[in-house]
Structure 1
């Protein structure tokens, strides 16, 4: 999603220019290396088929797990009831908070990074069962109904009969089809100079540098950088930076940080300025956006398995 120019406000009062950090929290696929227990290999018992088109694999993942770029012949939905995950494709990245899910179509190369301990439920969907309109990656809200449907299908083999599994799968896909996408995508460029600039901003979103300063850092003129933003990302520098700030707010909010601290860490002088920007982008205040779906913990938070 591109945020309209009249909905963009630029943070003020960030730290003075200085050496940029090397940490890059959102990275293109090529820079993500396998670490820990993450693996792109899907065990055969979870692979969807024409007879069982929606399969679910659930497992806990430790902080720092990274799964390198890979692809599947089927679609998948990654959903965490707790924890924050990061999904990257060739030209974009998403930070996915709890109670949201990301849809990934078949044959799309993607990588996974766990930003804090998470319990990951992954739905694998046989290509012939995919509803119309789900042909692009998107982050959606997990409604109370969708959450309970996922919980109902997240049982050991033999608990649900095949007829029930098929019904649950169809309802899950219908809920996903109806869900509205959320503007959590951070597009990433291919131009190396612009990618250097974007990764540096993502590493330090509170840095209040002007476009001229960022252009010098990237080794290009401000005019060139402005042109590359429009050509490669279809938005201005200010609009892209706004999108990056919104993405960085997610892991901070999921950790329970107060809004005043989130606003400060992202370069805003006041909580009210940050909240106003957030509401323009999402149509809701930060506290409304990050409130648990349905308010109460239900069966979706029960029965957590510790196996692979």
Structure 2
């Protein structure tokens, strides 16, 4: 069944004089915003639910209390994972000390959250609004980034493997079995992972599981259930892998965000 399309409403373009605007969006569950770009930068920040963002060559899963930075001019497609409530922060080109050529997932600290909320509803331009915008830009420049990127291939055989594994991260089949399924040799797939993804098959599968884990943890799912859904042998094995990747336990990762007002 095709996903419902969410048509973007008209939105004001930020300027160097008024560099940040914040919008509230609550698209239909499981809807999609088709491929598009805009001349300003954007932070897609789910306060509940999670977002899948595709850009050429990459896919990002963004859990609550984190935000995906999309630089000006970058084509992207956004999919809602269930029911999602969003804050969308538009930033005028050249005003944010954030990457200009690639996306990044940022931690949204309590201070960042409050600064974003302070720009809602859109107040008139004033000294206070200007000061909030300036502090928000400063805090964004200091925000911690998270490695939630999933490189995406162009080779059709590798693409078939990757789509299947993203749909079922618990699949523990070795690369030789995947090679049989997609009609390529194991050596060819191993070479393609290195040339197109910049990592081995094992590392890419681990990244798939970790990115899915951030969403499942935010949903409050039991660790045993998450471990089984992602193909880990036990909840402790899942927790250990999560801690190695993010430097904290799954519980602390979720607690790092706080519910918005």
TM-score (norm 2): 0.94
**Cα pair 1:57 1:121 within 8 Å, conserved:** yes
Instruction: Provide the residue aligned with 2:195 in structure 1.
Output: 231
Determine helix, strand or coil for the equivalent of 1:112. strand
Deviation at 1:88, TM superposition (A): 0.8
Question: Structure 2: any 5+ residue segments left out of the alignment?
Answer: none
Deviation at 1:271, TM superposition (A): 0.4
The one of 195, 214, 233 aligned to 1:250: 214
Distance 1:231 1:190 in 2: 11
**Cα pair 1:278 1:285 within 8 Å, conserved:** yes
**Structure 1 residues 271 and 121: alpha-carbon distance in aligned structure 2, compared to 1, 3 A threshold:** same
Distance 1:132 1:101 in 2: 13
Distance 1:70 1:156 in 2: 24
Deviation at 1:278, TM superposition (A): 1.0
Instruction: Provide the residue aligned with 2:114 in structure 1.
Output: 148
**Structure 1 residues 34 and 54: alpha-carbon distance in aligned structure 2, compared to 1, 3 A threshold:** farther
Q: What is the alpha-carbon root mean square deviation over aligned residues?
A: 1.8
Determine helix, strand or coil for the equivalent of 2:106. strand
Distance 1:128 1:248 in 2: 32
Distance 1:90 1:141 in 2: 23
Instruction: Provide the residue aligned with 2:44 in structure 1.
Output: 78
Are 2:70 and 1:104 equivalent residues in the alignment? yes
**Cα pair 1:34 1:67 within 8 Å, conserved:** no
Instruction: Provide the residue aligned with 2:141 in structure 1.
Output: 177
Distance 2:209 2:10 in 1: 37
**Greater Cα offset, 221-230 or 163-172:** 163-172
Are 2:25 and 1:59 equivalent residues in the alignment? yes
Deviation at 1:43, TM superposition (A): 1.2
Alignment of 1:116-131 (within 5 A): 116-131=82-97
Q: Which has the higher contact order (CA 8 A, sep 6+)?
A: 1
Deviation at 1:223, TM superposition (A): 0.1
Deviation at 1:133, TM superposition (A): 4.5
Write the deviation string for residues 118-140 of structure 1: whole angstroms up to 9, x where unpaired: 21111111113232645420001
Distance 1:61 1:72 in 2: 19
Determine helix, strand or coil for the equivalent of 1:193. helix
Instruction: Provide the residue aligned with 2:185 in structure 1.
Output: 221
Structure number having the greater strand percentage: 2
Are 2:61 and 1:95 equivalent residues in the alignment? yes
Tell me which stretches of 4 or more aligned residues in structure 1 moved more than 3 Å.
132-135
